[in-house]
Structure 1
């Protein structure tokens, strides 16, 4: 779109919605619009949902996230990221040449810390919140947060838009970074400029109102979990900040398919609900357990472990959270990598001394399903949709979703 037409579109949009705070960013010329999300948890859901919403409202969008690269034709391929600042410019250019009008990027902390976005200008930047993770790599939580903040301090256009979730961890750090950058800030969630109200559960969905400033739009979200709803709301805010009209975005939210392994219900059998989630740090585990608890009449049975070669200090914290929020805790192996599995479990047990220890993950899942009674929920946390377990130098086929499905249907 030429500059004059673009300005006219922005003006028409602003007039239609009363000059609201979701004034869209001016679309770039000669390259796709770039939306990027960082944070400790929820990034894949936000990045994927952003792409899906863009495609649904008629834009041709691609996505880079933890599942791989999804091109403008909807084909998913492995992401084979190499540690070079050429990777993302080349990816973006390739997608642009095949018709992409926008690219949604999941900005992992390693991508930011290693400077892989140094040659990428970001138009819309999203934060899901900063909690504890990856201290084994960054040395301190402050260094981890500083790496995340690079998205807002260095890569976001000074005239771009940043979005934060109301009440999210370390949101003040992001606010300050955005202020220094001179970019506009949109708050999403309770008390924010973009929020959800009057939500009720209807047939496995959350139905209510999407509020954008003084306007309301009917919305139906393809989830019953508040944590997923918040991530979808961030994606909606990102698309509106990129120029998507609220009414179209509200309609499109119904069609979003959340990534697999994120509070995914695998089976409901004999009154037992079986769920898989990726939660592998204290914040994510807390959110998953709280969300499952609100929907469970009986007991919450948790199967989980901790990954090897990764932030040993969080292990006792995760154990303590597990014992606090679950009724039965089964401690098992996650991805030990080259660490001794028994040592990992020992460190988790510091916080979960009453847990049941079953090293073999398949056996642990089998025991959880066997112990479940009508009204109970079984949550298998840590690996989500991963299909291999990392043991020393081996990749052993092991899919929590498949195992849970098999055990629930025995």
Structure 2
């Protein structure tokens, strides 16, 4: 493809060199650049791609997209105001605008993104409509089936994944859309057919200045959607968003269980074995049964089922597809011990998510609820005491520990959490080592007690300093449960 075609429509400030040069690959990683590549200079949070342009040049690269002039002989340098945005455009053009030919479903919100996308994929696969997946846990394209490095990849990887899906005969994709990806132009030029808003609670305030900025980043998705926006109207931010989006040409559909909604749930039943309810749409009612307990399960399944409904799928097929869905790795994942203790591993790492899983645990526990959790280092510090208060209020006992401390001192993070606890009430202890903390909770648990291990879910590592070491909450829990059998 000619560079001029790849950058068709781009807001170009200047071009030096041959703009008609042929380009056979596209990258922002100088180590992958070579003869025939377009190297895109991206200013990252930790490094600046412009500093690596010479390295790409020395490897044979002669086409560059940058935000400033580059002194590179016999090279074509296209200068733009925002290389991230134009990278997304170039990637879309290079791969032949693949998202236009997909039923692309974007799911954004603080909690529930992963579960909702998994449910959509599982349901469509069950109905014989092959669906790709891009999100926090895995990326599945038909050609790729691998653990994900981040919730939403960079734009080059995204459009490559979409292209792979089409070549493998996949017609749909369920995709988590993070606020970071919306703010950093990763999903620009993605043709979303359906978009879902799950909820908004405190998170990522290390990246966004405040909750309002966080919401504004999320909202961008719904102006990129062509067929329908699907909004949780029970969430106060969702309700306000729904009112704003009603002015658009794109249809806006609400879902919920408390407010009057276009798609709703009635006759809700929840116990330790799972959740069931009747889904009510403007056209039909159908039964939903999923082997995952909790009110959050109602919302996640209702969001996924609403997507199926808007795709034109009938009630009987929605029931069959949703009822076939199994759990999601690291999301309220239950491990039973032979001594009657149950451990539930969950990714909950925000105040709202922790409160939801603890309320669910309290509703199904026949004994005590013992919670093990920590907060990640180099992330939003303001949520730490809030999560401490929630754990103390909803647990019979809390074990405060480490969770990916990164470059912060674990003890300092724990002190931030403990600041939210009432020392007079007690019923908590501090165990800095996460393995020992999980062991402490399981050893104190008796028959019918539930031990919640929150914060990491599917993750099989700990980040300590700048090192990533193997650590899996489920592995550790199973080992301690085996000891106590």
Question: TM-score range with shorter-chain normalisation?
Answer: 0.7 to 0.9
Establish whether residue 172 from structure 1 lines up as the match of residue 247 from structure 2.
Answer: no
Aligned to 2:206, the other structure's residue is in SS state: helix
Q: Gaps (5+ residues) in structure 2?
A: 1-97
The 1:83/1:186 distance shift into structure 2, 3 A limit, reads closer
The answer for the alignment partner of 1:18 in structure 2 is none
Going from structure 1 to structure 2, the CA distance change for 1:149 and 1:54 (only over 3 Å counts) comes to: same
Contact 1:60 1:72 in 2 (8 A): no
Q: String of CA shifts for 1:215-247, please: whole Å, max 9, x gaps.
A: 222332121222123212211111221222222
Residues in 2 aligned to 1:260 and 1:152: alpha-carbon distance in whole angstroms: 28
- 3-state SS, counterpart of residue 240 of structure 2: helix
Question: Which is bigger in relative contact order (C-alpha 8 A, separation at least 6)?
Answer: 1
**Contact 2:377–2:405 under 8 Å retained in 1:** yes
Q: Does 1:395 align with 2:465?
A: no
**Quick check: 1:184 aligned with 2:251?**
yes
What SS does structure 2 have at the residue aligned with 1:136?
coil
1:41–1:201: structure 2 CA closer, same or farther, 3 Å change rule? closer
Aligned length: 379
Q: Is the 8 A contact 2:102 2:171 kept in 1?
A: yes
Q: Is the 8 A contact 2:99 2:190 kept in 1?
A: no
Which string of whole-angstrom CA distances, capped at 9 and with x for unpartnered residues, describes residues 294-334 of structure 1? 11122110000000000011111111111111110110001
Question: RMSD of the TM alignment (CA)?
Answer: 2.1
1:295 to 364, 367, 377: 364
CA distance in 2, matches of 1:175, 1:208: 24
Q: Which has the larger radius of gyration?
A: 2
SS at match of 1:135: coil
Q: Secondary structure at the match of 2:252?
A: strand
Q: CA deviation at 1:30?
A: 5.8
Distance 1:406 1:169, change over 3 A: farther
- Match of 2:281? 212
Residues 1:371 and 2:444 aligned together = yes
1:134-145 alignment, distance < 5 Å: 134-145=204-215
Whole-angstrom distance in 1 between the partners of 2:402 and 2:186: 32
1:146 and 2:216 correspond: yes
Normalised by the length of structure 2, the TM-score is: 0.74
- Give, in whole Å, the separation in 1 of the partners of 2:384 and 2:148: 29
Is the Cα–Cα contact under 8 Å of residues 333 and 359 in structure 1 kept in the other structure? yes
Superposed displacement of residue 250, structure 1: 1.1
Provide Cα deviations, 1:81-108, integer angstroms capped at 9, x if missing partner: 6974333223212211221111111001
Does the aligned pair in 2 maintain the 1:278–1:381 contact within 8 Å?
A: yes
Matched, 1:43 2:113: yes
Gap regions ≥5 residues in structure 1? 1-27
- Tell me by how many angstroms 1:207 deviates: 3.5
| Alignment match of 2:171 (pick from 94, 101, 105) | 101
- Cα 1:212–1:125, aligned 2, differ >3 Å: closer, same or farther? same
Counterpart-to-counterpart distance in 2, 1:216 and 1:42: 24
Instruction: Report the TM-score when normalising by structure 1.
Output: 0.87
SS of the residue corresponding to residue 58 of structure 1 reads coil
1:285 alignment counterpart = 354
* CA distance, structure 1, for counterparts of residue 299 and residue 473 of structure 2: 25
* Larger mean Cα displacement after TM superposition, 94-103 or 300-309: 94-103
Is the 1:306–1:333 contact (alpha carbons within 8 Å) kept by the matching residues of 2?
yes
Q: Distance in 1 between matches of 2:397 and 2:236?
A: 28
The answer for the alignment partner of 1:67 in structure 2 is: 137
Q: What is the aligned partner in structure 1 of residue 263 from structure 2?
A: 194
Answer yes or no: is the 8 Å Cα contact 1:34–1:123 preserved in 2: yes
Query: How far off is 1:210 after superposition?
Result: 2.5
Q: How big is each residue's C-alpha offset from its partner over 1:57-87, in whole Å with a ceiling of 9 and x where there is no partner?
A: 12121110111211247x6214456974333
The 2-side partners of 1:167 and 1:198 are apart by 17
